[in-house]
Amino acid sequence: MTSRPLQPDPAENDLRQIPVWMGKYASARKAALGMILWYGFYLFFCAAMAGLIYAGGFARRGGHTSLVYLCVAGLVLVVAGLICFVICFSIPSWNTRFLTWLIGKIPASEGEATPACPAVATQLNRWYVWSGVALLIGGIQVDLILGFLGYITPKYMQPVSALTTVPFLVLVYFAVRPSGASALILLWPLLYTVHAILIVCDVPPFALPGFWQSNAILISTAGYGLLMAVFMLIYSRFALRRVRRLARVQSPGGSSLEG
Amino acid sequence: MENPDPIIHDASRLRIVMVLSGAGTADFNFLRSTLQITNGNLSSHMSRLESAGYVAVEKSFRGKVPHTAYRLTKAGRKAVAEYWAMMDAIRGGAGK
């Protein structure tokens, strides 16, 4: 008599896939909502900085010294606010608490599910946060200032900013990873890098007229961030459909087989 | 031969723990809409899982609306792992 194991039951394989797709749904949804929040705040801060820098440049050219100082003071406050936001958002426990509160405010017909936290935040994650903050200060902000003061041509502001923005975004991902953030977040620095390469190769993905050319950084940052958030929301809906298909109780009338 | 854990070895409860094993927490509405079972049915299953120590319950309020979230405990995760190990063993030993 031959002995061979029974073939795996396809229904059992479906059940084993549930945690996989459940994790993808929860992490993609959380990341999408987090990125939309990030996008909104970042856009606000960058718009405030751009406005202050533009006003400062205008005041400097017009010789209004007190207005220049006022703009610089405002810029310092806005940068400080942005740094505080980045820190709060990048510390996994604060991130999780804030996003849990936010997710609770957003009605979801399917109910709520949070991703499993794969690890506890360590000192290394905090190092990621501080490194990212340092890059943020030394990178895109200086780039914006130099750009508006005319030291970098508007065309190359985005590629120059990519030198610090891309590592910053990657560091933020590693900082929030313990709270169950999806790896799809890395699409954002990937798109930002591709955009920079295309500009350097003289094949810009989109042409902006006049004033808007100087704001290419804001548009590419916010735009790719929003695009990535939308993609992750769509992916989370796809993952939820898979979970539902795999987890639906198959017995007649939806009743369970009581044990 | 040992029998599978009767708490886990149930069509609905097995799916419940599999959903919870892929998430940090899931609330009552999510489990109900995902599994497409009735409120009463789900409450009954969650009570059994909680009594067995496999699921932890977190009750809160969102404004004036009660909110109940569930999390798989360490004992629950261990029970699920042992369940599948037993099923694999049964499947591998069958036919001898």
Q: Considering only CB atoms, which chain A residues are within 8 Å of B67?
A: 104
pLDDT of residue A183: 80
pLDDT of residue A241: 94
Name every residue in A having a CB less than 8 A away from some CB of B.
Answer: 3-6, 8, 12, 15-16, 18-23, 26, 104, 109-117, 180, 240, 243-244, 247-251, 254-259
Q: Considering only CB atoms, which chain B residues are within 8 Å of A257?
A: 10-12
3-class DSSP state of A114: strand
Residue pair A106/B62 in contact by the 8 Å Cβ criterion: no
- Report CB contact under 8 Å: A254, B36: yes
- Report CB contact under 8 Å: B30, A113: yes
Q: Considering only CB atoms, which chain A residues are within 8 Å of B13?
A: 256, 259
DSSP string, B22-76: TSSEEEHHHHHHHHT--HHHHHHHHHHHHHTTSEEEEEEEETTEEEEEEEE-HHH
d(CA A58, CA A71): 10
pLDDT of residue A258: 39
DSSP state of A113: E
* Higher-confidence position of B59 and A38: B59
* Higher-confidence position of A222 and B37: B37
ipTM of the complex: 0.90
C-beta atoms surrounding B29 within 10 Å: 19
- Report CB contact under 8 Å: A5, B92: yes
Q: Considering only CB atoms, which chain A residues are within 8 Å of B94?
A: 5-6
Q: At what angle do helices A123-136 and A154-176 cross, to 10 degrees?
A: 170
Maximum average pLDDT range among A5-19, A192-206, B24-38, B56-70: B24-38
- Of the candidates A146, A195, A147, A148, the residue with the CA atom closest to the CA atom of residue A169: A195
Per-residue pLDDT of chain A (259 residues; tens, 9 = 90+): 444 445 556 677 788 999 999 999 988 888 888 777 777 777 787 788 888 888 888 888 888 888 888 888 888 888 888 778 777 766 666 776 776 677 667 666 788 888 877 655 556 666 666 676 666 666 766 776 776 677 777 777 778 878 887 887 788 777 767 666 778 878 888 888 988 898 888 887 776 666 555 556 667 766 787 888 888 889 999 999 999 999 986 654 444 443 3
pLDDT of residue A203: 80
Cα–Cα distance list, A63 to A57, A67, A68, A186, A253 (Å): 10, 9, 9, 44, 79
Residue with tokens 């996994």: A92
Is the per-residue pLDDT at B60 higher than 70? yes
